[in-house]
Chain A
Amino acid sequence: MDQRPAYFRVLATFARNSLVRDMMFRSNFLIEATSSVSWTVMNLGFYVLIFQFTPEIGRGTGWGQYQFFVFISAMMIINSIVQAFFMPNAQEFSELIRTGGLDFALLKPVDTQFLISLQRVNWSSLSNIGVGFALMFYSFTKMTFFPSVIQLVLFPIYVACGVAIFYSIMFSLAATSIWLGRNQALYNFWFYITNFSRYPMEIYGGSFAGDALRGVFTFVVPVLIAINIPAQLMAWPLSEQNWWLVVFTLVATAGSLAACRWIFQRALLSYRSASS
């Protein structure tokens, strides 16, 4: 008999349980979904304001208003996947370490990282995906260019890469709770790092500090490419793509996941439980 756990079935059970739990408090679910959409709309208001003053972000960068809106849409889609599947679990992970609840996860006959990463799905966070696709479609109607089939195929692949990069950073950070004892600043830390990914990478060019930031957040902590590459794939024609960065994103994704796995395993070795 095969003793390996059926990961897909376990994942489906987690997703179903979370949905059942969310549906027990339907009004709360609706409020949460509306909240995250209104937050996004407010952010969009800021970007609309910026384009009152300038035709594009960065001279000659190709990020005009609607190209930038495509960028924002890609960001919404990637962020809402991360927030729905991983954010609640990363926050819970820090709590599990602090309270000693991680003992129970370690005893279960499934991979601990899998269990810790996916046991809760926050379905209401997915509401922004709809807004993201609507905004992207609206921007296409305003642009002279529509992505080719190749781009439409590559986009979901690179969205997955973006999600994987963000996941790796988030769980590497969460794992540091084992060493720090408490990591309430986790969410802030995560917010501050991913903050660099919120705008096109071209804005960091042109100065020593900018180039240094761009280098660090592309090659060391690859948050810049997590959103920029899928966004560029949809916003610009194929002939204007940075192909080497497109290829590099695949390498960076694999590297991030491997690094996250390594940090997670190392951190678990230092886990001392929190009495009981």
Chain B
Amino acid sequence: MLARATTWWTILRISLEERLVYRGDFAIGTLMRFLPIVTQIFLWLAVFDAASRGEIEGYEISGYGYSDMVAYYLLAMVVRAFSSMPDLALGIALSIRNGDIKKFMIQPIDLVGFLLLTRIAHKLVYYSVAIGPFALVFYLCRGYFSGWPDPDIMASFCLSLVLGFLLGFFMEAAIGMMGFWFLEVSSLLFVYMLFNFFFSGQMFPLDFLPAPWDTLFQLIPLQYLAFFPAAIFLGKVQGPELVNGLLIEAGWVVFFILVSRVALRRGMNRYSGYGG
């Protein structure tokens, strides 16, 4: 047990150090992440201004005032920082294709566990670098928020963030495992990203969607990667709806853990590696 914990701890430490090697690149990447939000804020200011004929105060679009919109984008960015998994699926598929995956078959290390720790390390480094700019931006934009939410809402928000991280990880891992069958998953991943772009809520609050799209987003798990946690923080989802949402999100996490486990086991069984 202790030996296993030491192994995982070593993996986490190595991943952290690896992440910190290219600090310059990483710091620039973190800083730049704030820029698209600025454009969205100005875009929606122009939209609210034109729609309300200059009377922005009190004007709402689908229940969102202008302040809510700005707050929503900032929150959605925090959530996306948890749930986005750049290059995870592609990395898995690539290691299947080029044979790197073999080392996980002969070493007593679990592939999914290894990748999960690498991602946790990535997120830890990301947040330790990003906490400064994040705090600054939220402080500067505090006027767009109506104060801190109640502790129970805050707790639900934090829980939905952790679930969002796990959902993002296991969903992408499951797509990557499809590489055992298709070798090339970039088309599949593209479809995923396309839907993710629209139905996770990173572009706009999903309440804006007209029928029948508003039903579609409820049926698929993508809303938990951006919209749902942000909506919790803003008080748009409350009471039984909130509890149900968290339960469904947890259900999706369990579902994708199972899918990635089964895919890994079956994939490993059908995998054949040639050459040296």
Known: A52-B210, A192-B35, A195-B35. A185 touches B46 (CB 8 A): no
Asked whether A57 and B29 contact (CB < 8 A) given A39-B194, A42-B198, A46-B198, the answer is no
- The answer to whether residues A59 and B194 also contact, given A35-B187, A185-B25, A193-B35 and a CB cut-off of 8 A, is no
Query: Do residues B194 and A185 form an inter-chain contact, with CB atoms below 8 A?
Result: no
Which A residues are in CB contact (< 8 Å) with B46? 57-59, 61, 199, 202-203
> Residues 28-68 of chain B: 1 if any A CB is under 8 Å from the residue's CB, otherwise 0?
11001101101100110111111101100000011000000
| Chain A positions within 8 Å of B22 at CB level | 181-182, 184
- Shortest distance between the CB of A88 and any CB in chain B (Å): 15
In the complex, B204 has a CB within 8 A of chain A? yes
> Which chain B positions have C-beta within 8 A of A183?
25
Are B47 and A50 closer than 8 Å at their CB atoms? yes
**Would you list which residues of chain A between 45 and 102 have a CB under 8 Å from chain B?**
45-46, 49-50, 52-59, 61
Q: Is B129 an interface residue, CB under 8 A from the partner?
A: no
Interchain nearest-CB distance for A136 vs B (Å): 21
Known: A49-B204, A59-B53. A188 touches B32 (CB 8 A): yes
B274 within 8 Å of A (CB atoms): no
User: Are B50 and A189 within 8 A (Cβ)?
Assistant: no
Task: Tally chain A residues at the interface, Cβ within 8 Å.
Answer: 38
Are A213 and B38 in touch, CB under 8 angstroms? yes
Contact residue among A38, A42, A180, A195 (Cβ-Cβ distance under 8 Å from B36):
A195
Flag whether A14 is at the interface (Cβ < 8 A): no
Q: How far is the CA of A54 from the CA of B35 in the complex (A)?
A: 24
Would A54 and B43 be within 8 Å (CB), given that A192-B36, A195-B35 are in contact? no
B148 in the interface, Cβ–Cβ < 8 Å? Answer: no
Q: How far is the CA of A56 from the CA of B43 in the complex (A)?
A: 11
Q: How large is the interface on B (under 10, 10 to 19, 20 to 34, 35 or more residues)?
A: 35 or more
B203 at the interface (CB under 8 A from A): yes
Which A residues are in CB contact (< 8 Å) with B26?
185
Check A45 against B42 for contact (C-beta < 8 Å). Answer: no
Chain A residues contacting B9 (CB-CB under 8 Å) are: none
Q: A57-B50, A59-B50 are in contact. Are A46 and B42 (CB under 8 A)?
A: no
- Find A57's partner among B39, B47, B194, B208 (CB 8 Å cutoff): B47
- Inter-chain contact A199/B49, CB cutoff 8 Å: no
Q: Smallest CB–CB gap between A236 and chain B, Å?
A: 17
How distant is A53 from chain B, measured CB to nearest CB, in Å?
Answer: 5
Asked if A195 and B39 make an inter-chain contact with CB atoms under 8 angstroms apart, the answer reads yes
Interface residues of A in 189-206 (CB under 8 A from B): 189, 191-193, 195-196, 198-199, 202-204
* Given contact pairs A49-B210, A195-B39, a sample of 6 additional A-B residue pairs in the complex whose CB atoms are under 8 Å apart: A46-B203, A49-B209, A192-B32, A196-B39, A199-B42, A213-B42
